[in-house]
Structure 1
């Protein structure tokens, strides 16, 4: 080493460590939060148009599952798709989706992003909250199969054809009843799964109030089954009569939603009584946490 040469500081040569802080409620602040969670967790085949904050006319389609569970792709006709249900994730799903969206905006027809970027160092402006119009809701369209992967009058081939066949075989009949509320026929059982954008503790108290009053069901042949946590929100689940068609539950679900909203509002002026607290304790015992 020549005179005056400086030794390298190994600490300065290291790449900055990525802060991978878990975000419990990744879609908070977006009006579309309930539908985003539903599309991520249990809607089988669905699409919705995303509204960009800086370009409301740009057509971006959000899909539940893309071919080969890809994070994003640009179809041969130029339409951009972002996938919700992928095989890898980081500590912040909103950031993963935002990165996939930014990739897709610059991609060309035929380009595919197989997996989301879950390892790059976080930077400002890359989450969905930074890229989408915060007050825009999602209008989810449900499909009986995954033919929407392809342009009109096109046929699948190769890996896409095999992925399409597998995906179609896994679809359970599903209908949307309300915002975040979905009827699903799972084999011999039917359920209502409802994503509510409310604080978990308050929602449990409201459900307990309805339970104590005998108003938590949707009518005969129904029962409150429990709830699971998904991305920071509580998702109540009801068992329904599998012989009834999905449309028969639309009005009962609407009435239940109204009762639940009133129960939430009543909590501000009237705390739970002893009977309602016992009901709440019973509801807490029937929960499953999903991440």
Structure 2
């Protein structure tokens, strides 16, 4: 084969542009990030743009870490935590969702399509109602993988057992805000929708005023970035019941909202700028 023929037969190179904030524009952005990054077992019903009568459930992890599946009862499941990804997670999920809506009962998509050239209307933003919130249901195990009264067998049973063993107790305190018991430590992880710089300024304002904690038994630990948003983290007393943190977290949210609003009228003073510099240096690695 000549050089010209080889050049003609060569597949066109797909320009894969990294999308740092894949869920931008969706009201459910903080919840999607939490479910993908650190919530072990949870589900939420999705609101689709079209009038499809198919029941579509978003799950943190599906059997064998599948990208999507259609159960024998016809319910569609879309998995968030998968092993393979492209530069645009929203596109991966959108493609898996479109596959599932056309699949037959019992079909499983092991991995999403991460290699095809980008097309039209295949991101989550194209397929979901942009203003719809997620009504998240947390689970203590992964029994929701199977229809009621169904006993797992074979690889599904093994996958179910392994997944159940890895679950960390988790409770939702508010939008994007989750209490997690990780071994001997408890944390509040709060996915915030604000731009990082503005959020850091508000956190610095609270820190300088001594109002960044949730009360006795808590301390601000730092923050990590996830899919374009900042996630502040607080260490909490693991001996305290999760109910004891609901009201303190709510009040912290009120203070944080007030600090955010005040930034438009009053820039950071010297003490608050020093606090911000300290917060910037406290970046965490989620494990």
Q: TM-score scaled by structure 1?
A: 0.95
Larger radius of gyration: 1
1:240 counterpart (236, 240, 247): 236
1:280 paired to 2:276? yes
- CA distance in 2 between partners of 1:201 and 1:106 (Å): 42
- CA distance in 1 between partners of 2:110 and 2:264 (Å): 47
Q: What is the deviation of 1:11?
A: 3.5
Q: What is the deviation of 1:124?
A: 1.4
Q: What is the deviation of 1:54?
A: 1.0
Q: Which residue of 2 aligns with 1:4?
A: none
8 Å contact kept, 2:207–2:275: yes
1:221 counterpart (217, 228, 239): 217
Q: How many pairs does the alignment contain?
A: 285
Q: Which residue of 2 aligns with 1:33?
A: 29
1:140 counterpart (136, 142, 165): 136
Q: Which residue of 2 aligns with 1:106?
A: 102
1:271 paired to 2:239? no
- CA distance in 2 between partners of 1:215 and 1:61 (Å): 39
Q: What is the deviation of 1:8?
A: 5.1
Pairing of 1:135-214 with structure 2 (within 5 A): 135-214=131-210
- CA distance in 2 between partners of 1:120 and 1:246 (Å): 45
Q: What is the deviation of 1:58?
A: 3.1
1:96 paired to 2:92? yes
Q: Which residue of 1 aligns with 2:45?
A: 49
Q: What is the deviation of 1:188?
A: 1.0
Q: What is the deviation of 1:248?
A: 1.4
What does the per-residue CA deviation read over 1:84-126, in whole Å, with 9 as the maximum and x for residues that have no partner?
0000100000000000000000111110000111111111110
8 Å contact kept, 1:230–1:289: no
1:79 counterpart (75, 99, 104): 75
Secondary structure class of the residue paired with 1:287: coil
8 Å contact kept, 1:29–1:134: yes
Q: What is the deviation of 1:56?
A: 6.2
Structure 2, unaligned runs of 5 or more: none
What does the per-residue CA deviation read over 1:204-262, in whole Å, with 9 as the maximum and x for residues that have no partner?
00000000000000000100000000000000000011111112111111110111111
Q: What is the deviation of 1:9?
A: 4.8
Secondary structure class of the residue paired with 2:81: coil
Q: TM-score scaled by structure 2?
A: 0.97
- CA distance in 2 between partners of 1:287 and 1:268 (Å): 26
- CA distance in 1 between partners of 2:253 and 2:103 (Å): 42
Q: What is the deviation of 1:14?
A: 2.5
8 Å contact kept, 2:18–2:88: yes
Q: Which residue of 2 aligns with 1:130?
A: 126
- CA distance in 2 between partners of 1:162 and 1:136 (Å): 35
Secondary structure class of the residue paired with 2:249: helix
Instruction: Provide the aligned C-alpha RMSD in A.
Output: 1.4
8 Å contact kept, 2:65–2:81: yes
8 Å contact kept, 2:54–2:75: no
Q: 1:56 to 1:256 in 2, by over 3 A?
A: farther
Q: What is the deviation of 1:57?
A: 4.4
